[in-house]
Every structure is written in structure tokens, then in C-alpha cells.
Amino acid sequence: MKTKSIRQQEQLTGWLISLPAIVLILLVFAYPIGQAFWLSLFAENLGTQLEPVFNGLDNYARMFGDGRFWNSIGNTSIFTVISLFFELVLGILVALVLDQQFRGRGIVRTIGILPWALPTAVMGLAWEWIFNDQYGVANDILRAIGVGDYEVNWLGEPGLAMVALIVADVWKTTPFIAVIVLAGLQAISQDLYEAHSIDGANPFQNFFKITLPLITPQIIIALLFRFAEAFGIFELVFVMTGGGPAGSTEMVSIYIYQTVMRYLDFGYGASLIVVTFLILLIVVALVGWLLSRMQVNVTGEQ
């Protein structure tokens, strides 16, 4: 009975300590989302003279037949999945290199994190110049290595424009994953590697039996943050392609921006925001649940 009372007091103390943070979260995050949901129940556009007219769930029903919306969801999903795959592979490789002892490691770490520190809009402008079909460095490199003597229209062809966006995003955000994975690597005791080496394990076996299982939580956290960022990407696409050509790189954030700022369709734009938020919330909740149930040991069993 006494143990139960102590536990209740600890829970009450925890709630009291967390209360300011909970109130702040509700004010900063929950209130705008609540406002967006409320606005999504109205038609407020040029057809209604920008006056809100209640229409229930009509905006959500309209979404099912909106091909442009589903195209933007498809583009966003392709961009997110491919970008995260390359960022994860390259991020782990970079972290493994930076975890080694060598002269000038501090300088290399500083240079390695620079792409992530640059403003996205400025970096997007630089990559737009790199992929310019007339004077871009990308075509110069192709000609230098003898791939071709033609000018590739990187940002003017639907498939190539997506490739250019993914390359630019991977270059900028790979250091983010590398930094988080590096933190996990440095927490691994060298005694584990020495014990496995005595048993005859080679570096390849050490990586899959010790390193990878122990840095899995850091990898999931990095992917969680990167998924939310990649799914809501805006500045990079807006600067480099503006969603073109022919909507081939139009992400859902660009479509929402066009709906609200260009077509002044506030009610429908709010419904797009709510659905996008729910997609993000579901994925983040699933990953959070997976992370909470994850138990890692040096044998690699989870």
C-alpha cells in the first residue's frame, strides 16, 4: 500500500514538472492544427468571396478525386524513400570514417558538417546553377569524363529533375545522419570488439554483430527526423524546380502552397494540411512505438 502511494506521488510529481511543457506544446502545435481542422470544414475561396461557408467534409471528399494531390503525394513519397535510403548508407559510411583516429580529424568533422549548416534556400540556388544545362558544373563533369558532349537538361526533364533534387538533398542532409550515428559509435565500448576479435571475428563480422545492432536506435531516430523533414520539403524544390517540369517534382508542400497562396482556396488548403499532418503523425507514432519496444544486445537480437 505504501509502495503504491509512493508511485502515485512520483507520477503526480512527473505530471507537475511536465505541465509547463505540455501547455507550451498545446499552444504552439495543437492550436494551429486545431484551427486548420476547423477551417477545413468550410469553403473559403474566390467562389465564396473569401467568406467562410460551412460545407462539412466536402473538402476531404474533393481530395479523393484530386489527381494533382495524389500526384504530389506520389512525388513526395518517391523523393522521401530514395533520399532517406542514400542518406542512411552514406551517413553510416561517413560516421564510420569520422570515428577513426587520424590526424586532422577535427577539421574533417567540421568540413563534413558544413553542408547541413548551410541555409536550404542558398544551397538550392547553388545546386540550380550546378545543374544548369548551359553553364552548369554537372555537364562539365560529364564532358570531362567522356560520358557525352551534349548538354543534359537536368531541371527541364521530369525524371532528371527528380534526380537533381535527390542529389542536392542527399548532399545537404547526409551529415545530419552521420552526426547522430557517430554519437552512437562513440558510445560503444572497445572491449566488445576486442572480445570478438579474440573469438576470431573479422571487421566485417564486428560491424554486423556489434556495431550495427548497437547503433540501430540512433539510426531510427535519425530516420524519424529526416522522414518528417523530407516529407515536408519546400525550400529546395521551390528554388530549384518550383514543382516542374509538368508537375513531376511537385511535392505536397508545394501543392498546398499553390492552393492557398495562388488560388486563395483556404478551406481546401487547410484540409490538405490536416491530411498531411495525419500521415506524418501515423508514421512517427509507428516508429516511436517500434523504438520503445526495441531492446538491443551485442548478439544482434532485437
Distance CA 276, CA 155 (A): 26
**Which pLDDT score is estimated for 29?**
81
Distance CA 285, CA 302 (A): 19
**Which pLDDT score is estimated for 149?**
62
CATH class of segment(s) 66-299: mainly alpha
Distance CA 82, CA 86 (A): 6
Alpha helices in 26-103 (DSSP H): 31-39, 58-64, 67-98
- Residue of 193 and 72 predicted with greater confidence: 72
**Which pLDDT score is estimated for 295?**
55
Rounded to the nearest 10 degrees, what angle do helices 137-144 and 120-130 cross at? 40
Mean pLDDT of 178-183: 91
Which stretch of 90-94, 150-154, 206-210 has the lowest confidence by average pLDDT?
150-154
Each domain of the chain, given as residue ranges in start order, spans 1-29, 66-299
**Which pLDDT score is estimated for 5?**
75
Above 70 in pLDDT, residue 134?
A: yes
The secondary structure of 215-254, three-state, reads HHHHHHHHHHHHHHHHHCCCHHHHHHCCCCCCCCCCCHHH
Specify which of 146-150, 189-193, 235-239, 288-292 reaches the highest per-range mean pLDDT: 235-239
> Is the distance from CB of 116 to CB of 202 less than 8 angstroms?
no
Distance CA 280, CA 287 (A): 11
**Which pLDDT score is estimated for 298?**
44
Q: What is the DSSP letter of 157?
A: S
Provide, rounded to the nearest whole percent, the portion of the chain with pLDDT above 90: 36
**Which pLDDT score is estimated for 260?**
92
Mean pLDDT of 144-169: 85
Instruction: Give 3-26 pLDDT, tens digit per residue.
Output: 667 777 888 888 888 888 888 888
Look at the block and give the residue holding cell 474566390. 46
Strand (E) or helix (H) holding 17: helix 2-25
Provide, rounded to the nearest whole percent, the portion of the chain with pLDDT above 70: 93
CA dihedral 174, 175, 176, 179 (to 10 degrees): 130
Mean pLDDT of 237-244: 90
Above 60 in pLDDT, residue 300?
A: no
Grid coordinates of 40: 477545413
Above 80 in pLDDT, residue 182?
A: yes
Distance CA 297, CA 136 (A): 49
Mean pLDDT of 157-164: 90
